[in-house]
Amino acid sequence: MALIALGITGAAAAAAIAYLYLTDNGNSTRDKISDSVSKEVDKLAKSFGSTFKDLAASFISEKANLSKSAANAVADHVG
């Protein structure tokens, strides 16, 4: 039973990939998916960017015995 389910799943995946790469409509769909994923990644990068900079500044300040403002400047350059 599991082997049959695996075969059906594989066939469906192969059909979806073939549709995306072998048809003009699939090309348009790929472009839409790519744009959507790119926008979401940009949103995540922006939301995590400030958090990353704060964490990096705290780490640099603690490990290098720098003031928080100097560490923020370094974190801005690194991030």
Q: 11-70 pLDDT, tens per residue?
A: 999 988 888 788 777 778 878 888 888 888 878 777 776 777 777 778 777 877 777 777
Q: Which two tokens stand for residue 27?
A: 């090309």
Whole-angstrom Cα distance, residue 78 to residue 71? 10
Does the pTM surpass 0.95? The reply is no
Contact by Cβ (8 Å): 79, 52: yes
- Which pLDDT score, from 0 to 100, does residue 45 have? 75
Confidence bin at 77 (pLDDT 50/70/90): low
Whole-angstrom Cα distance, residue 18 to residue 27? 11
- Which pLDDT score, from 0 to 100, does residue 79 have? 53
